[in-house]
Amino acid sequence: MKRFLIALTLSLTLATTPALAASPSVSVDGTPVAAYATVRQNTTYVALRPMAEALLEDAAVSWEGSCAAVRGTGLDLTASPGALYLESNGRALYIPYGVLLESGRTLVPVRVLAAALGAEVEWDSATGHVNVTTGTDAIPSADEQYDADALRWLSHIISAESRGEPLTGKIAVGNVVLNRVAHSEFPNTIYGVIFDSRWGGQFEPVRNGTIYHTPTEESVTAAKLVLEGADVAGESLYFLAPTLTNNHWIMENRDYIMTIGVHWFYK
């Protein structure tokens, strides 16, 4: 009887396992691609090499130091396992759960890879099938995409305020700046928000001059990610490091959102 119950339980488990638990199938312009795909955190990841080769006719995929690289007509792309972004033509595209490395394969979200290559993704929720439609060109370069002054000052304030923080903490600081730009109570430019002089100034680095220090490389990357739409801080309009300041007005008057590193974020 015990063996029968175990067998019955196993058979019922297998019978009720959703079909979508299987790896999703992938095609490019309707043609199936033999590319490994898997779903992690509700995100479809695909193997970089076969997908890049299917999407770009002259794609050359190689391993350079600690990252996978894809070179081709109009494309210069790198993806480092563990990184929260990939770089394409000088731009930084956010990957919330990171670039993965499994069984020797570099895995990236199919939507992020498609965006880097100017392609579009269609997902069939009934079957789990993903079809990628190729575009005519890869995404425009960083010089074409980013306003130079916006990138400069956003990089500077992120570096000055969060130099020792993790990348997500740097992104969050940038989110606060852009949230203020979009809010009626603050200036409507990045420069205006940073150098807002009301109430003695909004940011300590402006008062002490560290805003003018050369930003770290990761801070520049964080600024690019924020300008591309990466968001970890939600509606936050304020942040502070409680252990580093005696002014707790924000904590006493604003709604708490989250903590990243030493910074507490509020709206």
Tens of each residue's pLDDT in the chain, 267 residues: 434 333 433 343 333 334 445 689 999 999 999 999 999 999 999 999 999 999 999 999 999 999 999 999 999 999 999 999 999 999 999 999 999 999 999 999 999 999 999 999 999 988 989 999 999 899 999 999 999 999 999 999 999 999 999 999 999 999 999 999 999 999 999 999 999 999 888 999 999 999 999 999 999 999 999 999 999 999 999 999 998 888 889 999 999 999 999 999 999
DSSP letters, 142-206, are HHHHS-HHHHHHHHHHHHHHHTTS-HHHHHHHHHHHHHHHTSTTS-SSHHHHHT--GGG-S-HHH
> In the CATH hierarchy, which fold is given to the domain comprising 17-143?
Copper Amine Oxidase; Chain A, domain 1 (3.30.457)
pLDDT digits (tens, 9 = 90+) for 161-181: 999 999 999 999 999 999 999
Taking each helix axis as running N to C, give the angle between helix 167-181 and helix 217-227, from 0 to 180 degrees, rounded to the nearest 10.
50
Span 146-266 CATH architecture = Orthogonal Bundle (1.10)
Q: Are strands 129-133 and 26-28 parallel, antiparallel or unpaired?
A: parallel
> Which amino acid, one-letter code, is at 171?
I
Provide the β-strand partners of residue 60. Answer: 71
Residue 81's pLDDT is 98
| Two tokens, residue 18 | 């959703």
Q: Using CA of residue 71, residue 73, residue 76, residue 78, what is the dihedral sign?
A: negative
Domain ranges in the chain are 17-143, 146-266
What is the rounded distance in angstroms from the CA atom of residue 234 to the CA atom of residue 176?
Answer: 9
Is the pTM value of this prediction over 0.85? yes
Residue 245's pLDDT is 87
Give the strand order in the sheet containing 91-94: 60-64, 67-72, 75-79, 85-88, 91-94
